[in-house]
A and B are shown apart, each in its own frame.
Chain A
């Protein structure tokens, strides 16, 4: 199916530590994997995305890795800051433009 499983559901880290969130999917036709950050009461915002033809992408303190054989992808945040605290959603797409299937979300809390 098109489901995406996301773990953990909550993640608590100290400022400066790294945070890793993992997602797995089952649809082999998936070829687009974005990550969205949603702060309380605000809109989901795209923070990084990766396509199936690359294994890793990095943008400053955030990176995404993709293992298409194992059908899982991960978000890595290094040197976490309190403003990184939010809900993070992974998603998969590719079978239809813009039709994304989202994971259940991870509540990340970064303690100062």
Chain B
């Protein structure tokens, strides 16, 4: 499968613990996005990278959330001191350079459960 891959698929953690998720975008895509989806809702934008630069962050992204894309390839999303309200599906997406770069290709997501 040459699509967007995310790891792990599922993560169960206790409140207060830190968690880190990884996303590997489609190799020729220079834009990478993190979205969050809760049950019964559409995905909500969290943050966006163009190459290694983080160009936009949502107000939803509290100080406990940090994302990196150090070499412009894979990205990590870390949540510190997790809270029960952080439980959600965290989706990564990538898009190609140039015309049509709004076309998002999503990964299968990481389902986070905070107990």
Contacts and interface: CB of A to CB of B under 8 A. Distances in A.
B42 A102 contact: yes
Number of chain B interface residues as a range: 20 to 34
B45 interface: yes
Contacts of B42: 6, 89, 91, 102-105
B91 interface: yes
Interface residues of A, number: 23
Contacts, number: 60
Nearest to B49: A98
Interface string A36-78: 0000001111100100000000000000000000000000000
A36 B106 CA distance: 10
B103 A49 contact: yes
A11 B103 CA distance: 26
Contacts of A97: 31, 48, 95, 101-102
B88 to A, nearest CB: 14
Interface of B: 4, 31, 33, 40-45, 48, 56, 91, 93, 95, 101-109
